[in-house]
């Protein structure tokens, strides 16, 4: 059953939905809807100012809320690469949004749920109604809900928060991993990574508590290593020698 949980923050409620059954995981819901108060809207679209100006500016003096369709378990995977050997150069980041078409389908279904919430009887009773402004570049799709929401998703997709996976943990023989199961950086002696970057997949929720648990586990691993240097997995170099 879907539920609304109120939080003491800018996000006023989270609605786990069953948008697409094929996207189910052990976390049960492939998507979550964030219900944000009006003070959040400018921060959400700080980058694409054209979008903010076209969609939100006409309503700046009024009261509004935003219902955001967020992927919890995206199947698409982006990349973060070095642009050069200069450590001061920014990295080359490719979010690779919607590489898997299933992600787009799930987000659009979430947007439809937002629309149903905004036009529901209880919301109409308090005077709520969807924006009448049109998302820039999607004018030709007005009147076709699927096509219009798909256009909005493609043009307005943003990364909200809780990024992980830039130093993926896993089997040292896997070329996509950076650290082994003991958080040791492959090929470098005496260096571990202990933060959200080691998570191989995005957790369905805030990364705060999972990161604390990674740190707690790392502390235990380091203490065990000090007490017994031969315990645990062999170092990456030993893996490399045996393959």
Cβ atoms < 10 Å from Cβ of 220: 10
CA dist., res. 53 & res. 65, Å (int): 16
Cβ atoms < 10 Å from Cβ of 64: 15
The label of the residue with tokens 């898997």 reads 100
Residue 11 belongs to what H/E stretch? strand 11-17
SS3 content of the chain, % helix, strand, coil (to 5): 35, 15, 50
Comparing CA positions, the residue from 89, 91, 72, 73 lying closest to residue 81 is 91
Per-residue 3-state assignment (H helix, E strand, C coil) for 25-83? CCCCCCEEEEEEEHHHHHHHCCCCHHHHHHHCHHHCCCCCEEEEEEECCCCCCCEEECC
Cβ atoms < 10 Å from Cβ of 160: 10
User: Is 235 in the active site?
Assistant: no
Catalytic residue, chosen from 75, 112, 154, 162, is 162
CA dist., res. 143 & res. 165, Å (int): 39
For residue 238, which phi and psi values (nearest 5 degrees)?
A: -70, -35
Active-site amino acid positions: 162
């Amino acid at each position: 059953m879907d539920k609304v949980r109120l939080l003491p923050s800018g996000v006023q409620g989270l609605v786990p939905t069953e948008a697409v059954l094929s996207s189910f995981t052990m976390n049960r819901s492939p998507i979550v809807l964030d219900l944000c108060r009006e003070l959040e809207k400018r921060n959400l679209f700080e980058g694409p100012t054209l979008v903010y100006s076209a969609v939100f500016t006409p309503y700046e003096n009024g009261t509004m809320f935003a219902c955001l369709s967020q992927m919890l378990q995206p199947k698409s995977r982006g990349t973060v690469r070095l642009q050069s050997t200069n450590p001061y150069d920014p990295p080359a980041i490719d979010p690779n949004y919607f590489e898997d078409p299933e992600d787009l389908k799930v987000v659009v279904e979430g947007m439809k749920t937002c629309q149903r919430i905004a036009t529901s009887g209880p919301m109409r009773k308090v005077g709520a109604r969807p924006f009448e402004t049109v998302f820039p570049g999607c004018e030709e799709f007005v009147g076709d809900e699927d096509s219009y929401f798909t256009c909005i998703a493609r043009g307005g997709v943003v990364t909200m928060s809780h990024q992980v996976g830039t130093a993926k943990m896993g089997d040292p023989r896997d070329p996509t991993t950076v650290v082994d199961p003991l958080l040791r950086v492959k090929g470098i002696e005496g260096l571990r990574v202990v933060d959200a970057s080691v998570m191989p997949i995005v957790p369905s929720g805030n990364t705060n508590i999972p990161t604390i648990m990674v740190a707690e586990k790392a502390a235990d691993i380091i203490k065990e290593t000090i007490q017994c240097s031969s315990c645990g997995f062999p170092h990456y170099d030993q893996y490399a020698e045996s393959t």
